[in-house]
């Protein structure tokens, strides 16, 4: 339980807030590279700031305040130039730093433009995503986490705006036990309503949390599992501050999953589900699957507005959004299984203090040698995913991806080639 | 740049606000006589008040407060008719006269009236009309950019060499000289006016093409504006029009959003509306940075504040006319040969929101039937 003031301090991300100041130290994904291929601008609301991601005619990206400082028309309709973008209303031109570089109808020699500065933030590409950085310069490096840069990987990314504060979504990732209920017994109950009997819930015998260099490793031991299982021995991490990384695989292949929670504002979160699949050796992968990172929008509610409770992501989103726009932590009652949540909150408080004292908080990387390839501790043989690639894939929101069937086909072909029965890949 | 308090003062027009009191001194269009044929009543939201336009026992139109708390008297506001339009007056009685602007009362014209509710405050729409340079960009370079993505190359841009603003009896005259033109051109010599407080008059006066055009911005509430596009086409010499074109004002709804919800960026009015709406429900003028081309806007804001003060000092503000002898036809300055219209009438007609009028093709046919060589453009 927190006080109302503590809850505000942990959740609010607008300019000038303590948590907004901490989160501005981290690069945040704002678009995919593919998304910007056929367009010049995209509106991006990020941590309460209305911004426009633009591409100039030299294919450089910029991230600047949406509203022209002149008379506040939207630069989302801007006219791109070789080295910046012009407001559609009166042609004022801005470069990627937000500096006004031309006011075509002011008198020659006027210095008015030199005094006009819009917000402007660096943009950089990594893993097929475009990342923006709203913090103080010089900007750190974008952590090259394994799944973003692994060789021979097929990638795609799902995106949804979840209408609640980012912190309750993150806390879900420090809460192993919820899978037993929300994705287990609730799912069984939902299926019961459809007249189908399933039994997937397994009891947590033990949970554990350890801080490591890049965040927190979360571990679980299910009833009947040994401590030698990857779920306990390896676990999977929350990469500080806002990425959940889950791995799975069968030894011959590897899947990387990142759930990236990008605060739009205090009450909305842009949720990315980023997947990278490294198929088994010898799999035949069409080149276009390796070249592009397609973006798709999985549905998060049904046509009638109800939650999609047959899907894991739909179950999560039901829990997150029913907690309220900003969950009221002054009215919660934490139990023994919530100590991962508490550990994460303490870490946030600690890192806010580091920033306030002028230091670099956790997971800020400035040395390129440290950033070539960050291999995270990830399960390889994950118990929950024991029934094989295709079966898992079809239960998952990835099935909404435009390349879903192609990915399944790649794995099916690889299995055929190895003459292995289904479910053992 | 103005303070947040000044911005509030300038923009808010609900009951009890100061700018609302000034706006209530002017007749505002609320409908047409044509649309009320066979219709008992119509809801009208005006200056933040919910009203009903209907006929009283004598058959005359009136505006009634839509709902009244128990024990209160229902407010009734006068309605007048001019030029086929119905005008309502929400100010203190006695009401002044409805100004007889030339285009409203010209004889024998084909009249059309487009309308749309724009989801933003009225003032940013008016300021656009005091902003000569925006046409070069919003309707020039930006139009070219939109067409570029369609694979077309067009050129509408012409640089402004000079702009000018002069107060006159009825408002402000806006002038421009575009590159390649001179002060002898109508764009500068005549210019076109903003009729105080909320009407832009921009028509065309030449023998082959004589049209009055008014854009009337009626504040619905602080964050919505009913925008009327009124056009009156004078028949060219030798042309005739079937009676049904002449006997009433032809109304239509002007679409302002594409089916996908985006702005209609390949039209002049759609470009304007994009600029107005993206400035915000009420543009935040405490965060603007006005340049030298914005002096028409500054002049207009000063005029609003000056007339507000005059009213608060107990006088009639600008353009409030009470003496019938002074309310003859108000002949507004009207340009003939505009540089921005050099590609001809028909091309312009089709770029403009007039094209949504159900009688657009009939109008073109009538105008072509006269001795009108320039219409071939």
Q: Under an 8 A CB cutoff, do B274 and A90 touch?
A: no
Q: How far is A312 from chain B (nearest CA, A)?
A: 31
Structure tokens at B332: 């507004």
How far apart CA B361 and CA B357 sit, in angstroms, is 9
Q: How far is A90 from chain B (nearest CA, A)?
A: 5
**Torsion-angle region of B60 (φ positive above 0: left; ψ -120 to 50: alpha; else: beta):** beta
Q: Under an 8 A CB cutoff, do B279 and A76 touch?
A: no
3-state SS assignment for residue B320: coil
**Who contacts B198 (Cβ-Cβ below 8 Å, separation ≥6)?**
B23, B26, B28, B122, B126, B216, B217, B218, B219
Q: Under an 8 A CB cutoff, do A70 and B293 touch?
A: no
Cis upstream peptide for B94 (omega within 30°): yes
Q: Under an 8 A CB cutoff, do A103 and B291 touch?
A: yes
pLDDT tens, N- to C-terminus, chain A (425 residues) = 899 999 999 999 999 999 999 999 999 999 999 999 999 999 999 999 999 999 999 999 999 999 999 999 999 999 999 999 999 999 999 999 999 999 999 999 999 999 999 999 999 999 999 999 999 999 999 999 999 999 999 999 999 999 999 999 999 999 999 999 998 889 889 888 888 877 777 899 999 999 999 999 999 999 988 888 888 998 999 999 999 999 877 667 888 999 999 999 999 999 999 999 998 888 899 999 999 999 999 998 999 999 998 888 999 999 999 999 999 999 999 999 999 999 999 999 999 999 999 999 999 999 999 999 999 988 776 544 445 677 777 778 888 999 999 998 988 888 777 765 555 44
Q: How far is B72 from chain A (nearest CA, A)?
A: 41
B290 vs A contacts (CB less than 8 Å): 70-71
The average pLDDT across B302-316 equals 98
Q: Under an 8 A CB cutoff, do B280 and A72 touch?
A: yes
How far apart CA A317 and CA B48 sit, in angstroms, is 40
- Which tens digits make up the pLDDT trace of A171-197? 999 999 999 999 888 988 988 888 887
Identify which of A73, A86, A107 has the shortest CB distance to residue B292: A107
b (16+ CB within 10 A) / e for B158-171: bebeebebeeeebb
Q: Under an 8 A CB cutoff, do A88 and B294 touch?
A: no
State chain A's maximal CA–CA distance in angstroms. 79
**Model pTM greater than 0.90?**
yes
Q: Under an 8 A CB cutoff, do B288 and A69 touch?
A: yes
Give the number of beta-carbon pairs within 8 Å between A and B. 80
Q: How far is B376 from chain A (nearest CA, A)?
A: 32
How far apart CA B115 and CA B253 sit, in angstroms, is 5
**What are the beta bridge partners of residue A207?**
A220
Give chain A's mean pLDDT.
Answer: 92
Q: Under an 8 A CB cutoff, do B292 and A77 touch?
A: no
Q: Which of A41, A52, A77 to mutate to test the interface with B (most CBs of B within 10 A)?
A: A77
Give chain B's mean pLDDT.
Answer: 91
- Which tens digits make up the pLDDT trace of A316-367? 999 999 999 999 999 999 999 999 999 999 999 999 999 999 999 999 999 9
Share of chain A above pLDDT 70, in %: 96
Q: Under an 8 A CB cutoff, do A71 and B283 touch?
A: yes
Q: How far is A133 from chain B (nearest CA, A)?
A: 24
Give how far Cα A295 sits from Cα of A38, A53, B339, B369, Å: 13, 17, 47, 56
Q: What pLDDT sits at residue A298? A: 93
What structural domains does chain B harbor? 27-95 (2.20.25.680), 98-376 (3.90.380)
How far apart CA B73 and CA A276 sit, in angstroms, is 70
Identify which of B137, B145, B289 has the shortest CB distance to residue A69: B289
Identify which of B133, B138, B290 has the shortest CB distance to residue A88: B138
Q: Is the CB of residue B106 less than 8 Å from the CB of residue B89?
A: no
How far apart CA B225 and CA A324 sit, in angstroms, is 35
């Amino acid at each position: 339980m927190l006080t109302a003031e503590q809850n505000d301090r942990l959740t609010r991300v607008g300019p000038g807030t303590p948590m907004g100041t901490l989160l501005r130290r981290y690069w945040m994904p704002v678009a995919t590279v593919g998304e910007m291929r056929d367009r010049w601008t995209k509106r991006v609301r990020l941590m309460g700031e209305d911004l426009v991601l633009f591409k100039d005619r030299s294919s450089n990206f910029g991230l600047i305040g949406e509203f022209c400082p002149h008379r506040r028309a939207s630069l989302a309709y801007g006219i791109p130039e070789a080295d910046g973008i012009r407001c559609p209303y009166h042609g004022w031109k801005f470069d990627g730093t937000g500096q006004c570089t031309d006011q075509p109808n002011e008198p020659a020699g006027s210095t008015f433009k030199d005094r006009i500065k819009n917000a402007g933030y660096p943009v950089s590409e990594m893993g097929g995503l475009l990342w923006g950085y709203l913090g103080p310069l010089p900007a750190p490096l974008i952590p090259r986490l394994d799944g973003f840069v692994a060789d021979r990987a097929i990638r795609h990314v799902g995106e949804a705006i979840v209408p609640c504060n980012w912190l309750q979504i993150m806390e879900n990732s420090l809460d192993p036990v919820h899978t037993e209920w929300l994705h287990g017994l609730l799912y069984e109950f939902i299926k019961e309503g459809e007249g189908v009997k399933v039994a997937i819930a397994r009891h947590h015998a033990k949970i554990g949390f350890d801080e490591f260099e890049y965040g927190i490793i979360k571990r679980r031991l299910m009833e009947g599992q040994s401590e030698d299982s990857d779920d306990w021995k390896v676990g999977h991490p929350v990469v500080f501050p806002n990425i959940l990384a889950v791995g799975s695989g069968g030894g011959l292949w590897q899947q990387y999953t990142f759930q990236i929670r990008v605060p739009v504002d205090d009450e909305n979160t842009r949720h990315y589900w980023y997947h990278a699949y490294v198929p088994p050796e010898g799999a035949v992968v069409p080149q276009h699957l390796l070249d592009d990172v397609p973006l798709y929008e999985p549905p998060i509610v049904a046509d009638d507005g109800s939650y999609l409770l047959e899907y894991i992501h739909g179950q999560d989103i039901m829990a997150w959004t029913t907690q309220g726009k900003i969950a009221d932590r002054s009215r919660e009652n934490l139990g023994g299984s919530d100590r991962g949540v508490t550990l994460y909150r303490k870490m946030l408080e600690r890192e806010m203090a580091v920033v306030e004292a002028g230091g670099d908080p956790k997971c800020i990387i400035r040395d390129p040698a440290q950033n070539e390839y960050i291999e995270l501790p990830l399960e390889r043989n994950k118990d929950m995913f024991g029934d094989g690639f295709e079966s898992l894939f079809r239960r998952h929101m990835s099935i909404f991806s435009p390349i879903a069937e192609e990915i399944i086909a790649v794995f099916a072909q690889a299995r055929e080639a190895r003459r292995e029965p289904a479910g053992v890949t | 740049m103005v303070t947040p308090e000044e911005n509030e003062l300038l923009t808010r027009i609900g009951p009890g606000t100061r700018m609302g009191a000034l706006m209530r001194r002017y007749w505002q269009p609320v409908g047409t006589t044509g649309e009320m044929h066979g219709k008992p009543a119509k809801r009208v939201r005006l200056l933040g008040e919910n009203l009903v336009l209907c006929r009283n026992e004598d058959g005359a139109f009136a505006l009634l407060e839509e709902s009244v708390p128990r024990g209160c008297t229902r407010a009734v506001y006068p309605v007048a008719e001019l030029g086929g339009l119905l005008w309502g007056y929400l100010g203190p009685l006695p009401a002044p006269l409805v100004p007889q602007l030339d285009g409203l009362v010209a004889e024998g014209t084909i009249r059309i009236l487009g309308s749309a509710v724009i989801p933003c405050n009225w003032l940013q729409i008016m300021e656009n009309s005091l902003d000569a340079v925006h046409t070069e960009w919003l309707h020039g370079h930006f139009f070219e950019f939109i067409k570029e993505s369609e694979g077309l190359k067009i050129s509408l841009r012409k640089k402004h060499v000079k702009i000018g603003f002069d107060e006159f009896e009825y408002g402000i005259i806006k002038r421009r000289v575009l590159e390649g033109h001179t002060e002898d051109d109508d764009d500068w010599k005549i210019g076109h006016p903003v009729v105080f407080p909320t009407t832009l008059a921009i028509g065309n006066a030449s023998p082959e093409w004589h049209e009055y055009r008014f854009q009337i911005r009626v504040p619905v509430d602080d964050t919505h504006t009913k925008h009327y596009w009124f056009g009156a086409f004078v028949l060219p010499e030798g042309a005739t029009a079937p009676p049904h074109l002449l006997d009433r004002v032809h109304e239509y709804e002007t679409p302002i959003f594409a089916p996908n919800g985006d702005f209609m960026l390949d039209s002049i009015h759609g470009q304007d509306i994009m600029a107005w709406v993206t400035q915000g429900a009420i543009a935040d003028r405490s965060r603007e940075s006005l340049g030298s081309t914005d002096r028409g806007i500054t002049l207009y804001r000063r005029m609003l504040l000056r007339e507000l003060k005059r009213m608060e000092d107990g006088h009639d503000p600008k353009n409030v006319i009470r003496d019938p002898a002074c309310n003859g036809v108000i002949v507004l300055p009207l340009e003939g040969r505009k540089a921005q219209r050099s590609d001809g009438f028909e091309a312009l007609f089709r770029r403009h929101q007039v094209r949504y009028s159900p009688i657009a093709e009939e109008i073109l046919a009538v105008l072509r039937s006269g001795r009108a060589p320039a219409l071939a453009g």
